[in-house]
Structure formats: C-alpha cells, structure tokens
Structure 1
Amino acid sequence: MHDTFLEYVLDDLLRKELDITQCTFVLPSKRSGTFLKKHIASRLEKNIFSPDVVSIQEFIGNLSDLNQASNIDLLLLLFKVYKESQIEDSDDFSSFINWGQTLLQDFNEIDGYLIPATDILNYLSAIKEINHWSASKEKSELVENYLQLWKNLETIYNNFYEALLEQKRGYQGLIQREAVKSLENGVYQNTQSNPIIFIGFNALNAAESNIIQHYLEQGNSHIYWDIDSYFLNDPIHDAGLFVRDYQYNWPYYKHGHKIETQNNFLHDKNITITGVPKSMSQTKYVGQLLEEIGEKEHIDLTKTALVLADETLLNPMLNAVPRNIPEVNITMGMPLNKTVLYSFFVNFLELHLNVSERGWFYKRVLEYISNPYTLTLSTESQGTFAQRLSNDIKEGNLLYINAEALSKYPKAQELLSVIFPEDTLTPIEWINNCLLLIERLKIIYQEEKNALELEYLYRFYALYNQLKQYLDKVDFMGELKSIKNLFKQLANMETLDFIGQPLTGFQIMGMLESRNLDFETVIITSVNEGILPSGKSNNSFIPFDVKRDYGLPTYKEKDAIYVYHFYRLIQRAKNVYITYNTEPDVLEGGEKSRLITQLLTDKNLEEHITHTIATPKISIDPKPLIQIEKDGQFMEDLRTFAQNGFSPTSLTNYIRNPIDFYTRNILKINDLEEVEENIAANTFGTIIHDSLEQLYTPLINHVLTEEHIKSIKNQVPEIVQHQFTQNLSGVDISKGKFLLVYNVILKYLHNFLEDELQQLKRHEIKILALEERYEELITVPGLDFPIKLKGTLDRVDEFDGTLRIIDYKTGKVEAKNVKVTDWETLITDYDKSKAFQLLCYAYLYSKKHGKSDVQAGIISFKHLSKGLLPFSEDKDTRIHADTLATFENYLFQLIREICNAAVPLTEKID
C-alpha cells in the first residue's frame, strides 16, 4: 500500500520502465503538480531538468493558440455583441450583468461538451416559443422582448465566438472546442514524441475526454485513475460514476486495456463524525480538535489537512487555530465579497446611492461609520469623527446628514470630503475616492505591520484599477447604479488567494484544492446537504431535460463530483474527522449530508465509525440577584447627588429597582437615544408639555375666560410645529408618520382645551404657575448631610378657590395608581409611583408656601374624559397637613434606606 496516489503512479511508471524525466505529466490542477515534482525530486540521485508538469487547462491551451480571457472581459464583450444584435428593446448593462454571467456559463458548457450550438440554441428558442404560446394572437411587449432574446441567441453566440477568435482569446469551453478541432485536422499530429501521463482525473467534459482518448490511441501515453475498487465495482456508488462510464464507453478500454484500481478504502481507519450546532461552533470545535492533534506524537502535522466545504468559514477558522500548531498553510481562495473590507466599500456605495438633496440618510451613514475600517480611519488625528458623528446623529436626531452637520469636525475635513463629497459621484469618482481610502488605510496598516489587512487592501486596489480600465473603454456606465452590479459581480468572481508553502506544515484548503493529494489525517467541516454536495441549484438557462438529452451535466453529475472528492479524501486517510451543522440555517444548506448517512449505513465501516453530537456544557444556575455594596466612592457620589437634589423620578427609580437608581442616577449611564424615525413616548410627552407651557404662559395670574381659551386654540398648530423643530430637528412633519403624530398631538391639545372650556362654564380657574421648579433642603434625622428635594410642577391653579397641583401624563394612568390605602406600599411598590410623585409635589409646595389642604392630581391625555385624577387617601381627595406629615415619615424612611451604607443595593425583579 502506498502512502499517496502520486507515489503509486511514479512507482508504476518505474515498473513499466518509463523514464520519468522524459514524460509530460498532465494533472487536474497546478497544485497537484507541485506535489508531483516534490515526489519526483525525492527519487532522483542526480540533478536533472524538471520534466513537463502541466495542468489540463495549460495542456489544452497549448493545443490552440488562444489565451484565456478574464471573466469580466468576456462579459463586456458579450454585452457589446448583445447590444449589436437585432433585439429592439435591449437591457442596460446593470440588468444584463444579472443574467449575462449565466449565459456565459451555458456557452462554456455547450462548447466544452462539443455540442453543435445551432442545434441546442434553436431547440431552446423553440421551447420558449411553445411555452409562451397563447390563445391570443398578439403577444405582449414583454413576451415579445423575451422571445426576441431567444431567437437571437444563435446569432449572439456566433458573433461572440467570432469576435473572440479574432482577438485570439477565449473562454475555457471555446479553447477546448478549438483544441479538439486542431487535433482532428491533424495540426498537432506527431509533434508529441514524449509519453504523456494523465493523472488523477474524474469528471471530464466531452472535449477533455476526446483529447485524452486521442493521446491514449497514439499508444505511448498512459492514464491513471485514482479510484478505489470499492466504488468502481459498486454499480450505484456516485464516487465511481464517471470512471465507470469511461470504462464502459471508451474504445481504449473496449480494446483490452484495464483500469487499475486502488484498494485502500477498507483499510483500518478511524472515522469520527460530530454534529455541532451552528457554523461558528464548528470552527471552535475544530480548534479544540487541532489542539488535541497537535499534542499527539504519532500524528504528523505535515500530513494533516483541514478541508472547509464552506469556504466562508476561513476567517473564523484562522482565529480558532491553536498556538501549538507551528505552521499553517492556507491554499484556497476566499471570494472577495465574503470579506469585511467588501462590506466597507458596499456600504460606501449604498451611502451614495441613497443621497438626496436633503443630505445623506442617517441609517446609511451610521452603517458606514460603524464599519471597522471607518473606525480605523477615524483616528485621534482625525478627531475620532466616526464616534462623534454617531453620537451627534443620535443626540440631535438627525435624519439626514448635510455639509453643515459635517462642518463640526474640522480635523477630519480632508477625509470627510472624500467620504461625503459635495457633488453627486460619477462611477469614476467613486472609484477614485475608494482608492484614496485604500491609500489611507494602507498607511495605517503598514505602521501596524498588519500583513493580512494589507493583502486584502491590495486585492481591492487591483480590483478598482481593473474597474477603472473598463470604464475607460465603455460608455454605458454613466450612473453609479450601473457600476454597483459590476462591482458586486467582480468581487464575487475574484478571490483572495492564500498561497502558502504547500509542501510544509498543516494545510487548510477548499474541497477542489484537495484533488490528487493524500493526507493521513483529514478534517472536513460543514458536511451538510446543500453545501456538500451543493444541491440542485441550477444556474443555467438550459432546462434539465434538454441538458440530459444533449449529454450536458445536470446537478446529478455535479453532486457526483463532490461525492468523489469526499470519498477520495478519506480513501487513504487513517484518521478522519467530519463535522456538520446540527442546526441547519435556511440559507446555509440543510440537514446532515447524505454522505454522512451513507458512511453510517455502510456495514463494512461499522467498527471504524463513531458518531456523536457535540453539545455545549449547560448548567442552569439560579441567577443570584445583583447586590452592590455601598463603598466609600458610592457614598461620596451619593452625597454629591443629594446636594444636587433627589427628584421624585429618581426616588421612584429606586423603588422600582435600586440597581436602576444606581446606573441611571448615580452613574448617569443613560442609554444613548436612538435616532427617532418613529417618535418615542418621552419625546411625544415633551412636545405636549412644552406646547402647553408656551400656550398658557401669557395667562399666568389671570382668571381664565372663554375668550382666552379660544384665542390660544388658534395658536396650537403653529406652536406645536415650533416644538417639533425644537425637539426633533431634521424631521419633516408635512408628510409620512410624523404628520400623523403631529395630528395626534393637535387632537390631544384640542380635546384638552375643549375640556377646559366646558369647565369654565361652571367653575372659576386661575392659573398660578407653569413648569415651576421647586427645591427644598430637608434635614432627615439620622443623616449627617443635608438632602435637597427638587421637582418641576407642570401646572398650579386655583379651582373655585381650591389649590390644585396638576401633573400631565401622556401614558396610561388609572385611578388606583393615585390612591393610597396602605402607606407601606408607597415606598415599596412601583405601581404607586404616580401617587408618590403627587405627594412629593404637594410636599414641596407646602414647604415653600406653607399651604397644605391642596389637591394634587394627574391629567392623562389618553383618558381626558376622566378629568383630573386626584391623589386620594380613603375618600378624601385633599392633601392635609397630617397627610403630608405621614408622607414625610415614609419619605425620610426611604431616603435613610438609600443613604444607609450598611444596606446594599439589591436588584428587584419585576
């Protein structure tokens, strides 16, 4: 048994007495070629020139004199050809790019499988015509345009093919078709005297298959399949699907040649299958696994590979690799659109696509300035503008950010002019601004010597320069919108290639990078349906049955490719670890892969396999209530707080939850308000309070008359509008949800004033004070520092000679909230907080004016019909001196508890 397939091939060539230095080796990928060279080198006694080792793509490329064109060049050329076709109402570029990519893939397959394009494209056109056949003779314009594309498809294909040949360029399928033609025409008949050795192929398209067979027929070439007899001889095992087909159909095998199989799969191996909840946890689990592997003497890390079926896990995986693994080699591509830097540029683009004459919409701005890269740019020397701008947006409730708002950050003006330029950006300006941002980031990361970030930056730098070149060539990219799709496509197609020293250290790779390579220890992650195999995504315009009829690969064949890779990986391995996600996410694929089920139900593997589900250790401890001891610092802060004054709200905060009192009132941690697109309850209340104050202020010390009320009713709209701008700058109340809120407030105030008019018919009301602040120093027995009590009374009036203290509430208030039957509840039950507040106001008023016998009540705007809800004890709604004396006792008791260093603050749970 050989350690690896490549060594087996070299030994077999030796047995056939072929001089390996004279052979040309053709492999599926360049990477496997690197490993082959390593094995050749280790067998040689003397120095020689390396034999030719090429990938199949290079080999076929050499048979035609065409160069592979980049994907984006192909798309631009295809668009040009499409535009020049007979289609009257053709798509613009940004729409085209959404389907052009798929069409390109279909052309590529048609050519690679050597299908006469005329046949299949006309057949497609006919199918579309039948599908859209309808009883009415007239086709709608939409259907007409749609059918026009299909009718013109053959012309588009032919013109595209011709245009590429003229430029001596092509896509893979086209180059393969041309290579087959040149072999058939005898251009390359006998130029090849060296034996050609084809190694480790699996799924070949018709062109590759024809070319390989052509050389095998010549007699001096050989082909080696890495296929285990276990799969090949099983008529339904997908891992052998393709090779069984070649064994059965190729003349080479019909004329006596045999396929030499490998026999490693059933050798002793340990397979551990583990279900782990969520993708991220898989990386953590693999991290722990690697740590254990790193400590085992008998496991050779250079013969260990981690294969990520879901390549987006590369970044988190890198963070999870433990320190005891000295060398890590990554050989895989990470699509650029999976990087954080990509989101930085996309956010930047979205920012400019959502700009209006009022400025940049705050949500996009917040999204952009909270991106890690913006925060990196927002250095001290830039006056940390990102953090400040974020606060200013929230505090100032800025729905749109304009030049005036940005002028507050003088240190960052130069940078801000790149991010928020004055004029609308054209695509080329957007690219230039992105390049300027890359330049700034580059300087920062060079100082930090952050190689990985610089690599990311470089890839985007190259991408933008590429985009720039295309913009020079084309004239259909006038708007930023059209570059959006192109940028997204490019970032999707381009990968950040990590190329390590493939011959040393522990390897991290994608599924396709593992071709032809063998490892003793293999870890495969994300083995879920929809990821491995990747499922029925049919990214093609050619329907399933047409593909089947013409011999094009369908999802069944595509699945079989992954099945082959999967089994080939574990075929020679001694230790196999497979993980899958037990909590399949709708977007990330489904339940555990059928490949796992297949392994688990295989009788021959029973003794080698263990299957477990990794569950995090969960122990539910009763959460202890938070307790905060009142240390010296706390008491100091409390003294300062007491000097500034206890307000009724701060005291009721304590009643609700002492920890709330601590965070809000002592530490002053206020949740930074969110920007209000919808109005918050407290802002709504503030606008009503302030409007009433403004309306009634001219009437202080007057006995109200009906004329007074009628005249202030007329001012309501204007005053509310003014209060809106005071409290919510940047809000437009002429439309949308704020218009509704504005009307609700008008309605509330209208109803309130109507109610006041009704009262005036039967009662005399005199306004004494509005929004008046009261402060009293009180001495609490047992405390050695003075306490200030403070509060703002919304309105004080005289109602038929009775003094009334009124508190406005826009929230829900019920009569029971202002009634006290058991005094103890006043300082223990938050439900009584409204009663507590009213007593505080009455207490403050009587301290200042020496008056008791007052009435204190709440007017609830939600229930205006209930009128004033007065504080009451038993039946009496007045607050007398003895009521205030009782209240004072409880107030002192509460303040003493707050100020008692021996009583810790203990959390209350609602």
Structure 2
Amino acid sequence: MKTFLDYVAEDIIKKYGYDLSHMAVVFPNKRASLFLSDSLTRTARRPLWSPAYLTISEMFRRHSSLEVGDRIKLICDLHKSFIRCTGIDETLDHFYGWGELLLADFDDIDKNMADAGHVFSNLKNMHRLDDISYLTPEQKATLQKFFSNFSEDQDTILKQRFMQLWSNIGNIYDDYRERLRKQNIAYEGMLYRDVASDDTIEYKYDTYLFVGFNVVQKVERKIFDRLQEQDKARFYWDFDKYYMPSGGKDAVNEAGHYISGYLKYYPNELDSTSTDIYDNMSKRKNIVYINSGTDSIQARYISSWLRENGRTGAGQRTAVVLCNENMLQTVVHCLPEEAGNVNVTAGFPLSQSPLSSLVLRLSSLYLNGYNAGRRQFKRRYVMPVITHPYSRFISTRCKELKDMLYADRGHSLAADELSLDNGLSLVFGIEKNSGIVSWLTDIVAEIARNAKDGDAFFQESVFCIHTLLVRINGLISSGDLIADNITLQRLILQLISTTSIPFHGEPVVNTQIMGVLETRNLDFDHILVLSCNEGHMPKSLGDSSFIPYSIRKAYGLTTIDNKVAIYSYYFHRMLQRANDITLVYNSSTDDGQTGEMSRFMMQLMVESGYAIERRTLHTEKDRNIMTPRCIEKTPEVMDRLMNIGYLSPTAMNNYRRCPLRFYYNNVAKIKEPDNIDDDIDNRIFGNIFHLASELIYRQIMQPDGLVKSTDIERVLKDRKLIETTVDTAFRQEFFKTSDSTLRAVEYNGLQLINREVIIRYIRRLLEIDKTLAPFTIICLEGDVFEDVAFDTGETRHTVKIGGRIDRLDMITDSETGQQRIRVIDYKTGGSGITRKPCSVEEVFDPSLLREKHTDYYFQAMLYSALVRNNVHYNHNGLGVSPALLFIQHTRKDGYDPTLLFGKEKITDIKEYDDEFRFNLIALIKDIYNNEHDFEPTADRSNCDICPYRQLCGS
C-alpha cells in the first residue's frame, strides 16, 4: 500500500527537485515529519537537501516576541485576575480545574479571532435577565463546589455568585491578557492572534507546504491567506471520496465537512480526482468488529491479533490504536515477545508510576504525620514511606529503621531519632517554613543522585516529577504562586494526574502503539483499534465551557458539532488506506462504561456496504487463573509436620477450618504480618486485656492463690492502679517495650478510646469475681500439655498437644456446694455464642464452626480434658468445667461462664472425656495421615477472613 505521505513525497520531488532547503513543510503535529522524511529519502534514492519541518504551533511561535507561558503559571496568573475582577476569594486548588476551562474559552475566542468584547457583552446581557433554573442538578452541584458551600437560600446565593463571574468575564479576559503581556508571555491562542493580526511579519521560506490539515482555525486561515497572496503557500489535503460531497450535494458524512469547504480556497497540490489517492474506501477491506466484556480482555487479545496474518512482520505498517489511553499500561504488559521493540507514542500516565505513589506518601507524611510542636511523627505515616520500594534510593538504612520500629512500637518517632543518615534527615528533618514543595524537591533530587543506574522508565519518571516540582518551586519563589501547603499538595497531585511520561523510540520502524491523534497523516495496512466505544470515539462531548452553545455558535467558536466532525474525520481517515481492520469495543456497563460501540462504527455498518464480521471475546468462566491447590504430604512435608513441636487448639481449629490454612501457618510457618501502624486490631486488643487482667490478679491474690472480696474491692476503688496496669499492658503488647522508665506512654485518639474500654472491661471482670469470692486462682496464663499416642497405618506416633490457659481457678459451686476447677478462656469480642452445640459430636463438626463457634468449645474442652488428668493442677481429682467468659455479655446478675450443652451445664469434663478424646484422636490421625493431602476447604465462606486467601488464590 502506498501511503498519503508517499504521494506527497513524490509530488514534492517532482515539482521542486532535490534541493528543498528553501521550503518548510508544516504539519498539524510533529510525528508525521519523521515519516515524510523517510518517504522523501526512499523516493529520491539519492542525497537531497531536506526541507524544514514545522508544526503549525512552531510556525506561530517563531514569529512572535512572546513566549507561551508555563501551564501552571498561566493558571496562577488567571487565578489572580479572577480574584481581582470578581472579588471571589477561591483557593487555587479549587480554582485550578475551572481555570483550565476559562483559559480554554479564552484560547478558543482568540484562535477563532472572535470579537471578545461582543462575545462577553452578549454573555453579560444574556444572563442579566436570566435565572439559573435552566441548570441541571449536576451543573448546580458543580457550581456549588466551585463557589464553596451554601447553608440556605441556595439558588439565590448561587445566582449571585454566578452573575459575579458572568458580569466580569470580559474584565477577567482583559486584565489577564494585560498581566501576561507585561511579563512577555501568552497563552497559545493569544500568541496566535497576535501573529495572525500582524501584517508586518516577514516569512523566512520561499514556500510553505501545509500537509494533512483537517479543521483550520481562523488564525491559521489568516496565515494561509497571507502566504497564498505572496504565492508562498501550497496545500496537500488527505481525504477520501467516500465521505466527501459530490455532484453539488453536501457530504453524507460529517468527516468531510471541513476539507470540502477549504478545497475551493486552498487548492490541492495532488490530483483530487485520482482514485489511487482518494478512493481507498471503495477498495476491498477485511473489517472485524469485536465485542469484549472488559478492557483487560481487549488488551490480552493484542497478542493473538499480532501473531495472525504476519502482522508482527509488517513493522511500521501495523498499528494498535488506543481510543482510551488509560489502557496503555495493560497493553504494554500484554505484548508478545514476537512484537520486538514496539514504538509507543502515547505517554505513560505519571500518576501510575511507583515514584508518584512515594510522593503521595511523603506529602501525607508532611501534612498529616508530623507534629511540628513536638517534632514527632505518627507511625501510620512513617511506615508507608520507609517500606516503599523506592525508599532504598533515599537511604540504605530504611530497612534498619523499619526493623527498629517493628521491634519496638514504643520507639520515639522524634525527628532526631529517625534521622539515621543524610537521606533520612531529608525526610524527617522537616522545617515547615521551607514548604512542602522545596522539601519534596530535595528528596526527589536525592533519589535521582542515588539511582543513576535505574532503568529508563524510572529515570524518566524521576525527571518528570523533579521538573514539575522545580516549576512549582520557581513560581513560589517569584511570588506568582501563593498558597498554603494543603493547597500546594492538592495542586501537585492534580498536576501529576495530568502529566504523561513520554516514550522514546524509532518511529518509522516496528509495530506502532498510539493514541487517535497520533494517527493523523499516517497510514497502516493492519490496524487494531481498542476501546472504540461511544465516549472514547468520539471523546465524551460535554460542552464544558463558560460560554453557552448559542453564543459559541453565533461567533464561530468551537461547538459539539465541530468536535463530532473532527473525530469523524480522525476515525475514517485512520481506516481509509488500511486493508486489515479490527475494531474492538467494551460491551460492559460497569465502571461508567456505556457498553455501546462508537457511533462511527454504527455509521460504517449502515453506509459503507462492507461485509463486516462480528465476533465476541469470551472469558473462560470455568477457568480460574488462580485456584487453591492441594499440598501433597511428601516425605519432606511429613518431616516438617512431625517437627512442629506441639499441636495447640488454635492449630487444630485451623485444620478443621481448612487443612491448607493449617499447612501455611503451622507447617510452612508463614506468619501474618504484624500490625505496623497506630491502630489496635482485635488480636492486639485481646492480648492487652489478657495481660492487664493477669497483672491485676497477681496483685490481688494471696501467695496460695486465694482471692478475697475485700482485696477486689480495694482494687476497684483504686482507679490509678487499674490505669497503671493497663498502661503497662499497652507498653508490652502494643508499644513492644517492657522498660517502664524509658518514656511515658503517649496515646493517640483511638488508642485512648481502646485504653478506656479495656479499663472498663477490667473493672467489670473484677465486679463479677467479687460476687464469686472467695475463690482460688490456680494459675494465670499457665501452660498445660499432654503426650497423645496414635496409630497411622503400621506406625505409632506420639504428639504433644496443649497450650496456654488464660486462667485456671477453683470455686465452690453455688448449686452443689462442691469445689470444682474452671478452665476460663477470656473473650473480648462482641459476637458471643447465640446457638450453642448440644453434643461432643457437634463440637467436632467443621460445618458448625461459623454457625455455632464450635472452635471456642473445642479449645475450652480440650484444656479441661488436659487439666482433668494433670496432677500438678488437679491433685485432688476435682471436677473440671470449661468456661468462656465473654466480657461484653456479663451484665446480667449471676453471670456464669460455664459452658452448656443445650441447657445442661458442663460441670465436669469427665462425663464427656471418652467421647471427646475419641474424636480428638481421629482428628490428629487425619492431620498426620500421609494419604490425606492438605486440601483447601470446601466452605469458601471461611476464605473471607483467611489471611492466606491471596496466597492460595481463593
């Protein structure tokens, strides 16, 4: 296939020869110049003097004494003019998005050379008599956000604010332009208008070739006209007969709307009647429409599409076009090896780079995690920074600091103690008066110095973020940007979200991956268009502007109609010379998707006459990418199993829930990560309560374990004693330090709430026990174990079972008057047991774990069975009863934590001992049976709270 630029190259050499140094070729965008240069070289087949290549933007900028200002500075200056003219003191971060919208309106007015005074005068008159009833609820909500919050008489206040803007928009325009001109800068439309209006400009080249334009704005037409009058302008138009008007009739397709109007004023240098150049849509094409359920399926399809029909070998003649450029990251990861070094022209979103996540964590540390008065940091903001993968480029001691904070949660987070070296001193040596931008700039610069050998993508992301921060810092230093740190943080994040990391490559070789705009002037044999949905092709066409449609239409400004015609041209021009076309759209309505194919696809189906093949990409619903797999009990696994030390009730309950979970936790020894922030989870809360209750009772009970009501009453009256004891428990279990003289405990708000709750729980426990006293505590947090022998086939094994009991006491039963031992397990959770098991058989039924909490029963009964036969704890052969003390459910008088089977109290485990041990041995045999692999549970409801669900793929 011969491309449009090939025809242009042939015509240039035919008409102008091989010395093209006296001419300039002007394109709508930069990319096409590289392809034209390649076409000229191939066509000439000999050395030639190359022409100058310009974009239309470069051409305007070369002929102006003004410079286009930095985007951030332009918005900052517009913000100043906005405040000055309206009196609305809106913060910069709230104004920024609206400032971009206002700047786009000004740019559009100037590029279309509209009379700004008339536009704004009509705008002011139109709204003076108008009300805001025509606004949609969504528009009102947006304006309310812009103009801050209103408490009453919303519409009246909103209208007043609205009118402040409309009545002053002309003043803003004039003030803004004057402000910029004094600084010798301009926005693009302002510069264009100055150049187009200046009749004294002398244009350097003898000939200007304008190639591949579609919509031409009035400022550009002004230049075209002037150069044409001087016989310096020539035009090469790229179109197809399919969408152009014929026989005096208007075009049936909006794609040809603009070019058809320009041809009469700016004649085509190529033969407009040539069927080879301009009648390609009538030629045979293989067109496939594909319906996909998700964007990721579309991306995965690229691999198989490229492997078909020799597309990977077609090099630059193959293109993957992204209507939704947010898919780039997924697409890049789905490319097959055969694709080689593809050429990516779409930029990678900076917000998706790992470095941007580090900047986000750092800014949160600066604004939320630092107490300037105490020069201390909050752990929840420190840990995400020093555990980030890129923190190693700040300091080699981040891991050391992380381990130190893991080991001692009570370690001071003072800036001086965290600053172990120069890199960490940059992070934690925060001086609020230096500002967040300077602080971030210094840290990113340190990362750049320490990561010189990083990959190209990483280096580019560092460069982009550092450049962005330096630009903001420069504006702050010059006084152009005045904002507090919170506003600056929001501004930084907004700018990161709108910035792309450019890819560099050799554009004229290999498969091309590009956005829609990059396809202008370029032709391909094989083309795959992804996300060709309504909303992406054309882009969502909300008429976002401060200038209503009627006024925009009247003054020749850009409207929705223009945008549809422009995108229609992009779509049809992209396809016109390709013979192998695949268009994929997302049919899902999730995540804001409409699920509709592009209107241009529908149009092509109806109007083109092509036999379009329809396909659907299906997910393999019966195939799970990650499915839980059994762990085989190999000799190595069995060896580890035999050496796990002992089986605790928790370990056996893990096995009952899910044998695979038992393997990960108890055999493979993969432990859950510790809680590293300032929050107190349920496990830590329970540990603090357990230790606090132990410490309290060690102070109450006599040397022989006797606890009297008078001793309990004394402690209940001494609130300071209880608080100090709870603080000690906090220090050991949460702050991970046992040295009470090291430093005072400092709690945050949530920790204080948890501390108060535990104090109340301790008091409630004492109140319950006061009604029971006198009684004897046999042990607190005491261990009980027993060796159990069992057979597996022909082999006999012995395993130690047992664990730590929260509390073992001896009471006098109020009903029988007999002494009995209670094995008490404290429970601080709020769920309790609403449905109780009625038999030992139910206790061992794994299907009742969730419904009846049989794991609680199992643990209490196992400890009771072990204590029953333990002469150290039960040398008198007393009855032993299992008990679960749910501290949140102890409000009823006469509360008894002794377990029940139905309504029958278990006053002595001996009655159920034989049946319990029979089932226990069966469970242990199953665990050690090498013919039973560690299988995932069949009850997937257990997976919801399993810490290993991601590991096993549940």
TM-score strictly above 0.5: yes
User: Residues of 1 paired with 2:265 and 2:625: CA distance?
Assistant: 74
- Partner residue in 2 for 1:699: 701
Query: Which of 698-707 and 263-272 deviates more?
Result: 698-707
* 1:143-177 superposed Cα distances (whole Å, 9 cap, x missing partner): 76664454443333224334444555433212222
Contact 1:827 1:890 in 2 (8 A): no
TM-score w.r.t. the length of structure 2 is 0.81
Deviation at 1:594, TM superposition (A): 1.6
Partner SS, residue 235 of structure 2: strand
Larger % of helix: which? 1
Deviation at 1:427, TM superposition (A): 3.6
Count of residue correspondences: 877
- Inter-CA distance 399–154: structure 2 relative to 1 (3 Å threshold): farther
- Partner residue in 1 for 2:887: 861
- Partner residue in 2 for 1:501: 506
Are residues 1:783 and 2:796 paired? yes
- Inter-CA distance 370–544: structure 2 relative to 1 (3 Å threshold): farther
Q: How does 1:541-556 map to 2 (within 5 A)?
A: 541-556=546-561
Are residues 1:317 and 2:331 paired? yes
- Partner residue in 2 for 1:727: 733
Where in structure 1 are there 5+ consecutive unaligned residues?
Answer: none
User: Residues of 1 paired with 2:476 and 2:834: CA distance?
Assistant: 71
- Inter-CA distance 268–365: structure 2 relative to 1 (3 Å threshold): farther
Contact 1:362 1:400 in 2 (8 A): no
Deviation at 1:891, TM superposition (A): 4.1
Are residues 1:798 and 2:821 paired? no
Q: How does 1:98-117 map to 2 (within 5 A)?
A: 98-117=97-116
- Partner residue in 2 for 1:847: 870
- Inter-CA distance 557–516: structure 2 relative to 1 (3 Å threshold): same
Q: How does 1:467-866 map to 2 (within 5 A)?
A: 467-474=472-479, 476-477=481-482, 479-488=484-493, 490-491=495-496, 494-586=499-591, 591-605=596-610, 607=611, 609-619=612-622, 627-642=630-645, 645-674=646-675, 679-697=680-698, 698-700=700-702, 701=704, 704-715=707-718, 718=723, 719-720=725-726, 722-729=728-735, 741-742=754-755, 744-759=757-772, 765-777=775-787, 783-785=796-798, 787=800, 789-799=802-812, 800-810=817-827, 811=829, 812=831, 814=833, 817=836, 819-820=838-839, 822=841, 825=844, 832-845=854-867, 846-848=869-871, 849-858=874-883, 859-864=885-890, 865=892, 866=895
- Inter-CA distance 699–351: structure 2 relative to 1 (3 Å threshold): same
- Inter-CA distance 575–414: structure 2 relative to 1 (3 Å threshold): same
- Partner residue in 1 for 2:28: 28
* 1:738-763 superposed Cα distances (whole Å, 9 cap, x missing partner): 56555554554444444444456xxx
Q: How does 1:236-315 map to 2 (within 5 A)?
A: 236-246=252-262, 262-294=278-310, 300-315=314-329
* 1:482-528 superposed Cα distances (whole Å, 9 cap, x missing partner): 43344345445654333433333322222222211212222222212
User: Residues of 1 paired with 2:347 and 2:834: CA distance?
Assistant: 68
Contact 1:794 1:806 in 2 (8 A): yes
- Partner residue in 2 for 1:377: 393
* 1:325-372 superposed Cα distances (whole Å, 9 cap, x missing partner): 344223344453443333332332232122232744445445444544
User: Residues of 1 paired with 2:796 and 2:43: CA distance?
Assistant: 93
- Partner residue in 2 for 1:120: 119
* 1:189-238 superposed Cα distances (whole Å, 9 cap, x missing partner): 8x789454332211111221233244445567443322222112264422
Are residues 1:438 and 2:447 paired? yes
Contact 2:843 2:854 in 1 (8 A): no
- Partner residue in 1 for 2:38: 38
User: Residues of 1 paired with 2:5 and 2:563: CA distance?
Assistant: 25
User: Residues of 1 paired with 2:616 and 2:252: CA distance?
Assistant: 29
User: Residues of 1 paired with 2:348 and 2:903: CA distance?
Assistant: 75
Partner SS, residue 707 of structure 1: helix
- Inter-CA distance 292–453: structure 2 relative to 1 (3 Å threshold): farther
Deviation at 1:433, TM superposition (A): 2.1
* 1:634-667 superposed Cα distances (whole Å, 9 cap, x missing partner): 444344334xx33333334334443333332333
Contact 2:320 2:527 in 1 (8 A): yes
Contact 1:399 1:677 in 2 (8 A): no
User: Residues of 1 paired with 2:634 and 2:38: CA distance?
Assistant: 70
- Inter-CA distance 589–371: structure 2 relative to 1 (3 Å threshold): farther
TM-score w.r.t. the length of structure 1 is 0.84
Partner SS, residue 197 of structure 1: strand
- Inter-CA distance 174–807: structure 2 relative to 1 (3 Å threshold): same
Q: Which amino acid aligns with 1:453?
A: F
- Partner residue in 1 for 2:424: 416
Q: Which amino acid aligns with 1:32?
A: A
Are residues 1:909 and 2:938 paired? yes
Deviation at 1:106, TM superposition (A): 1.5
Match of 2:210 among 174, 179, 198: 198
* 1:412-455 superposed Cα distances (whole Å, 9 cap, x missing partner): x332222232433514532442333332453241xxxx233223
**Quick one: percent identity of the two aligned structures?**
24
Contact 1:627 1:905 in 2 (8 A): yes
Query: Which of 721-730 and 835-844 deviates more?
Result: 721-730
Contact 1:627 1:907 in 2 (8 A): yes
* 1:117-145 superposed Cα distances (whole Å, 9 cap, x missing partner): 112223334445445699x9999888766
Contact 1:330 1:509 in 2 (8 A): yes
Where in structure 2 are there 5+ consecutive unaligned residues?
Answer: 134-151, 737-743, 940-954
Contact 2:647 2:799 in 1 (8 A): no
Contact 1:802 1:855 in 2 (8 A): no
Partner SS, residue 532 of structure 2: coil
- Inter-CA distance 295–504: structure 2 relative to 1 (3 Å threshold): closer
Q: How does 1:56-67 map to 2 (within 5 A)?
A: 56-67=56-67
Deviation at 1:303, TM superposition (A): 1.8
User: Residues of 1 paired with 2:58 and 2:171: CA distance?
Assistant: 30
Q: Which amino acid aligns with 1:172?
A: E
Contact 2:93 2:488 in 1 (8 A): yes
Q: Which amino acid aligns with 1:437?
A: E
- Inter-CA distance 422–824: structure 2 relative to 1 (3 Å threshold): closer
Deviation at 1:542, TM superposition (A): 1.9
- What is the root-mean-square deviation of aligned Cα atoms in Å? 4.2
- Inter-CA distance 712–621: structure 2 relative to 1 (3 Å threshold): same
Partner SS, residue 641 of structure 1: coil
User: Residues of 2 paired with 1:25 and 1:732: CA distance?
Assistant: 73
- Inter-CA distance 772–337: structure 2 relative to 1 (3 Å threshold): closer
Query: Which of 213-222 and 268-277 deviates more?
Result: 213-222
Contact 1:227 1:262 in 2 (8 A): yes
- Inter-CA distance 602–752: structure 2 relative to 1 (3 Å threshold): same
Deviation at 1:729, TM superposition (A): 3.7
Contact 2:716 2:766 in 1 (8 A): yes
User: Residues of 2 paired with 1:491 and 1:365: CA distance?
Assistant: 22
User: Residues of 2 paired with 1:88 and 1:874: CA distance?
Assistant: 76
Q: Which amino acid aligns with 2:862?
A: C
User: Residues of 1 paired with 2:775 and 2:522: CA distance?
Assistant: 94
Deviation at 1:584, TM superposition (A): 4.7
Partner SS, residue 877 of structure 2: coil
